[in-house]
Chain A
Amino acid sequence: MSAANKRVRIRLTINGASRELEIEPRRLLVELLREDLDLTGTHIGCDTTYCGACTVLLNGRNVKSCTVFAVQADGGEITTVEGLEKDGKLDAVQEAFAECHGLQCGYCTPGFLMSTRALLSRVAHPTDAQIRKGIAGNTCRCTGYQNIFKAVRAAAGGAGK
């Protein structure tokens, strides 16, 4: 257990703010965000990189933070769902999911938002096929992807309905 007790120092930029933290090397990024920084908008669903509820942006790319060690993100820039909102105003993606009912229980929603945000920064106006592929790594159990699809299209400036 000696390796587990060793602690390392890392530096991250999280939602624009620089943070220095001392952590166990085995600490997962999702645990660091939720437990050390109380950024609980990033959720834990499956524990094994399948469901996508824990998706965040690492240097602009969407990653599943349950399978990223915090030390792997050292020096990186992280955006969580809490970082999408600017000056108290929801991001277009957040607005669209709320408005189009791209959520029911809402537990998977932050992950979908981050994947959508990543997709829209790569492709401003994705085709239906690009949307399907772009957020294929996120799973929802209760909404029906119908409305999620609408929300992504609305966020991209297309017809939401």
Chain B
Amino acid sequence: MADYHWPPADKRFLIGKSFTRLDGPAKSSGRAKYAYDINRPGMLYGRMVFSPHAHAKIKSIDTAAAEKMPGVRAVVVMFEPGKEVLWAGQEIVALAADTEDQARDAARAVKVDYEVLPHLVSDLTPEKAGAGRTSAGSEAKEGDPDAAMATADVKIEGTYGAGIITHCCLEAHGQVTEWEADKLTMWASSQNVTGIAGEMSKALSIPASNVRTITQYMGGGFGSKFGADPWGPACANLSKKAGRPVKMMLERDQELMEAGARPSIYAKVRLGAKKDGTLVAWDSESWGTSGPQGGGNPPIPYVMRAPNRRTKHTAVLTNTGPGRAWRAPNHPQSCVITMCALDDLAAAIPMDPLDFFLKNIEFTGERGKSYHEELLKAADMIDWKKKWRPRGTQDSGPVKRGLGLSIHTWGGGGHQSNATCTIHPDGSVEINIGSQDLGTGTRTIIALVAGETFGLPLSAITVNIGDSRYPASGASGGSTTVGGVSASTRRAATNALNELLAKVAPYLDAKPDDLEAAEGTVRVAQDPGRAMTWNQACAKLGATPIAAAGQRSLDLISSGVGGAQMAEVTVDTETGIVRIEEIVAVQDCGLVLNTKTAESQVFGALIMGVTYALYEEKLMDEQTGLCLNPDMEFYKLAGLADIGKFRVHMMTGPGYDERGVIGLGEPPVVSPGAAISNAVANAIGVRVPTIPITPAKVLAALEGASGTGRA
């Protein structure tokens, strides 16, 4: 019997090697079809009317004029008059017309009567936000923070945080819907093909078996594309009314106003340490907004948890687009708050932050040994001991150089996943799984795992995914996809292989238990000369393929990873411009299946990290209640010239591999904000308290420091 457990290092055929992604040619040829690219015969174009007010009661909606506009085929009212819109950008009416321009013209002809109500769009402190604008979050206490603080030799107090950013996926949210009698097909830009099929069936009151959802390729999600959203059912309803397929994708302004926001989190922190650097106490009051809803309990203090601590969080309720899960929800903000406060404490002692972190590594808990190794590895890569200088002791001259570090964590695990594996008599192999590939390399990983199981190259495996007709499999989020699909694939493939071995055994005059599939053959493990080629073996199936199912099992995966990152920056103290010189990222994630896609993931995380550390922020105007930068000219993303040099090291081998597969999407995106902020503080001698670290904030921090006479 073939064993489904991951093979030991000396038996691995494909796992842990470097493979180019299978979908590269489809994407670089333009053949890959994203939801936005689906064109159907007779297809109409949908467009939504959205609220221009941050807070208003809708008195009436009049679509009569719009319905008479040229090309208009259907109008759907999405919002009930009498109710309140809670943010600018909230959708009210959807309509479909022959062309996109006609749909836009018609949207302008919809008349909505608003009673404008008072709004709050700034993420002020709870006190400033005022009564009725806050919701209590978690409050926790461990040990005796007051008594411990009294024993501290060094204490610091500061405010740290991160403003709201958006997901800004290059492919907007949206879908194409098409009915065939009472059956719906929806091509959506979705991270959750299996899940949204159920959501659509509920919203439209049709049997789930009548809904088919498809995502073959998608242009970014980052946590913002888990649901069908209000526009999914609206599009299907337009389609139904018009009797034609409808494509309705969000335009960039609406995308940035409402289709994705990472909550802001700020915190007033007090913390103390002994003279030798031992951390003794943490006390923080945090707040932030994720739009009109409350919630949001940041994991503060993050990773390095002082033994005595008090934390309290309050959500500020604002009239901004609702928060959505953004890659490692709450972690990057909590990381900035914690790691920057710790870095300031180290500077106050004064102590090299690397020594300070190593000294306190026990407070990271059970993964302390890994963090220790990762910090030392990162320090070695960036040459920390040679390059680091105490804060504010830079050479004269306007451009200052600095180093900063941070550590992070994430869970992972594997989502619920089902797979089927078919071995055809001609030797070809298919794996079917409902889950989608966000671009992380899911297809490639599935082929790799199946190939490993059968002793076949990746190219021999056909992978069918991203369709609700395939076996139910989880959403791609929280770094759970690789765990889910690799485990279900492995189980399905092993089950199929065992059926094949049973079939073939008599021909090799052996017991099925004595056989293995390896190097393109099926052979007697102890006597590899007794073999037949893979195709010969499959031919013994006659006319009937083998079809076997498999389900994600927990013994193939694990959760809980760590990583350390270090950044080197230069800061021009005359212009306030920060430049990334280098970032090194050291990361563990259990058993690495494909080193090339793993490294790509970390590179991608670093670029997003640089972007939120330095450039991007959703700017809200309190006067009008509107977003000031709902476009990509003023909502800044890093460009090719902004990123500096990145280097990645994956922790693998004994101690890591046997943990099984763990996802990698979230963890490396957590630390860049903190590492860069600490590097800036090291360079200019003063803390820029919040990210993004814009030139204006750098100059303000420098001015504040010189004004109060501090270094």
B30, B602, B640: which contacts A82 (Cβ < 8 A)?
B30
B709 interface residue (CB < 8 Å to A):
no
- Contact call B633/A48, Cβ cutoff below 8 A: yes
Chain B 566-601: CB-based contact to A (< 8 A → 1; otherwise 0): 000000000000000000000000000000110011
B217 interface residue (CB < 8 Å to A):
yes
- Contact call B29/A144, Cβ cutoff below 8 A: no
A109, A135, A139, A146: which contacts B27 (Cβ < 8 A)?
A109
A8 interface residue (CB < 8 Å to B):
no
Shortest B249–chain A CB gap in Å is 8
B426 interface residue (CB < 8 Å to A):
no
A99 interface residue (CB < 8 Å to B):
yes
- Contact call A45/B632, Cβ cutoff below 8 A: yes
- Contact call B220/A101, Cβ cutoff below 8 A: no
A105, A138, A144: which contacts B220 (Cβ < 8 A)?
A105
A34 interface residue (CB < 8 Å to B):
yes
Q: A131 to B641, alpha carbons, bound, how many Å?
A: 9
Task: Say whether, besides A26-B101, A85-B29, A136 and B632 are in contact (CB < 8 Å).
Answer: no
- Contact call B217/A40, Cβ cutoff below 8 A: no
B142 interface residue (CB < 8 Å to A):
no
Task: Say whether, besides A104-B440, A106-B23, A109-B28, A53 and B170 are in contact (CB < 8 Å).
Answer: yes
Give chain B's interface residue range (CB within 8 Å of chain A).
Answer: 35 or more
Interface residues of B in 601-624 (CB under 8 A from A): 601-608
- Which candidate, B33-41, B304-312, B511-519, B673-681, is the interface stretch facing chain A? B33-41
B28, B37, B438, B606: which contacts A144 (Cβ < 8 A)?
B606
Q: Which are the 5 A-B pairs with shortest beta-carbon distances?
A: A41-B30, A98-B24, A105-B439, A144-B603, A107-B219
Task: Say whether, besides A4-B105, A43-B219, A106-B32, A101 and B20 are in contact (CB < 8 Å).
Answer: yes
- Contact call B607/A140, Cβ cutoff below 8 A: yes
- Contact call B640/A135, Cβ cutoff below 8 A: yes
Which residue on B lies nearest to A31, using beta carbons?
B100
A101, A136, A141, A142: which contacts B640 (Cβ < 8 A)?
A136
Which residue on B lies nearest to A107, using beta carbons?
B219
Q: Which chain A positions have C-beta within 8 A of B100? A: 31, 35
Task: Say whether, besides A43-B170, A47-B252, A24 and B101 are in contact (CB < 8 Å).
Answer: yes
Interface residues of B in 411-455 (CB under 8 A from A): 438-441
Residues on B lying within 8 angstroms of A by beta carbon are 20-21, 23-34, 36-37, 39, 70, 99-101, 105, 168-172, 217-220, 222, 249, 251-253, 438-441, 596-597, 600-608, 631-633, 637-641, 643, 646
- Contact call B637/A144, Cβ cutoff below 8 A: no
A156 interface residue (CB < 8 Å to B):
no
A38, A45, A104, A110: which contacts B604 (Cβ < 8 A)?
A104
- Contact call A41/B641, Cβ cutoff below 8 A: no
Task: Say whether, besides A50-B632, A139-B637, A145-B640, A101 and B24 are in contact (CB < 8 Å).
Answer: yes
Q: Which chain A positions have C-beta within 8 A of B101? A: 4, 24, 26-27
Q: Which chain B positions have C-beta within 8 A of A143? A: 600, 603-604, 607
Q: A106 to B254, alpha carbons, bound, how many Å?
A: 22
- Contact call A146/B603, Cβ cutoff below 8 A: yes
Shortest B482–chain A CB gap in Å is 14
Which residue on A lies nearest to B631, using beta carbons?
A48
Of A80, A81, A107, chain B has the most CB atoms within 10 Å of the CB of A107
Q: A12 to B223, alpha carbons, bound, how many Å?
A: 41
A42 interface residue (CB < 8 Å to B):
yes
- Contact call B641/A132, Cβ cutoff below 8 A: yes
- Contact call B170/A148, Cβ cutoff below 8 A: no
- Contact call A136/B105, Cβ cutoff below 8 A: no
Which residue on B lies nearest to A94, using beta carbons?
B28
- In the complex, 20 of the A-B residue pairs with CB atoms within 8 angstroms, ordered by the A residue number, are A34-B37, A40-B36, A40-B39, A41-B30, A44-B172, A46-B631, A51-B170, A80-B30, A81-B29, A84-B29, A90-B25, A99-B24, A101-B20, A105-B170, A105-B217, A105-B218, A108-B219, A132-B640, A143-B600, A146-B646
- Contact call B646/A136, Cβ cutoff below 8 A: no
B25, B597, B608, B639: which contacts A142 (Cβ < 8 A)?
B608
Which residue on B lies nearest to A145, using beta carbons?
B640
- Contact call A106/B28, Cβ cutoff below 8 A: yes
A62 interface residue (CB < 8 Å to B):
no
Q: Which chain A positions have C-beta within 8 A of B20? A: 98-99, 101
Q: A97 to B32, alpha carbons, bound, how many Å?
A: 14
Q: Which chain A positions have C-beta within 8 A of B633? A: 48, 50
Of A26, A31, A38, A142, chain B has the most CB atoms within 10 Å of the CB of A142
Sample of 6 further A-B pairs with CB below 8 A, known A101-B21, A106-B219, A133-B641: A34-B37, A45-B632, A85-B29, A90-B29, A105-B170, A105-B218
A34, A38, A42, A104: which contacts B600 (Cβ < 8 A)?
A104
A17 interface residue (CB < 8 Å to B):
no
A44, A46, A144: which contacts B646 (Cβ < 8 A)?
A144
Q: Which chain A positions have C-beta within 8 A of B643? A: 144-146
- Contact call B28/A90, Cβ cutoff below 8 A: yes
Interface residues of A in 89-147 (CB under 8 A from B): 90, 94-95, 97-99, 101, 103-110, 113, 131-133, 135-136, 138-147
Which residue on A lies nearest to B24, using beta carbons?
A98
Q: A27 to B104, alpha carbons, bound, how many Å?
A: 13
- Contact call A43/B34, Cβ cutoff below 8 A: yes
B222, B439, B639: which contacts A106 (Cβ < 8 A)?
B439
Q: Which chain B positions have C-beta within 8 A of A84? A: 29
- Contact call B640/A97, Cβ cutoff below 8 A: no
Q: Which chain B positions have C-beta within 8 A of A106? A: 23, 26-28, 32, 217, 219, 439
Shortest B217–chain A CB gap in Å is 7
Task: Say whether, besides A135-B640, A143-B607, A51 and B439 are in contact (CB < 8 Å).
Answer: no
- Contact call A40/B170, Cβ cutoff below 8 A: no
Shortest A68–chain B CB gap in Å is 16
Q: A132 to B646, alpha carbons, bound, how many Å?
A: 16
Which residue on B lies nearest to A151, using beta carbons?
B28
- Contact call B39/A107, Cβ cutoff below 8 A: no
Q: Which chain A positions have C-beta within 8 A of B606? A: 144
Interface residues of A in 56-84 (CB under 8 A from B): 80-82, 84
Of B26, B36, B440, chain A has the most CB atoms within 10 Å of the CB of B36
Q: Which chain A positions have C-beta within 8 A of B171? A: 43, 45, 105, 107
